[in-house]
Amino acid sequence: MDVLKHISIPMLAFLAITRELSLFLLAVFTFGAIFPDFDVFFDEHRSYFHSLIFLTPLSLLSLWTHSMYLWLFTAGAAFHIFLDFFSGVIPFLYPIKKRGLGVKIMGLVVFESLPRLKIRYGLIIGYPERSKGSHTAFSNESVAMLIVALAALLLRLST
């Protein structure tokens, strides 16, 4: 999943569940939601920061310190990993075990005598990809999602 989706989807979720809008808290949550992809600076992408070995101590630390900022950052990182689970594999125990899991779900509309929905799903198993090389930074649909998220933010700010 590209960075614009990792910004816009958590931003929309944050706007939907918060009563009072704080741009600083939104920024902390959104930074947490993109942070796991900074593991692209290691040899393998979707590695250290996409692992429960990173997320679990962070979660415990946020509970222990009662820091709302750390809790929001951690929630953003967890949101990132949740989204990535639907767009590839997550190596939950990296670096102990590099093999990861993901889920693939696809709905097809089949037009025969009557249109019907055919759903295909399954687990995918794979390994983190090498960080070197080219990766998709964003796409048309992710730009559209960011525009929608920014419009929702502007609407919240204006009310």
The binding site for Zn ion (CB under 5 A) comprises 36-37, 84
- Which position's Cβ is nearest Zn ion? 84
Closest approach, Cβ 16 to Zn ion, in A, equals 22
Query: Which of 62, 84, 71 shows the shortest CA–CA distance to 6?
Result: 84
Shortest distance in whole angstroms from residue 157 CB to Zn ion: 28
Least distance from C-beta 61 to Zn ion, angstroms? 21
- Tokens 């947490």 belong to 32
Would you say 99 and 125 are in contact if contact means Cβ atoms under 8 Å apart? yes
**CB-based contacts of 35: which residues, under 8 Å, 6+ apart?**
49, 73, 76, 77, 80
Q: Which is nearer to Zn ion, 33 or 153 (CB)?
A: 33
| Pick 3 or 25: Cβ nearer Zn ion | 3
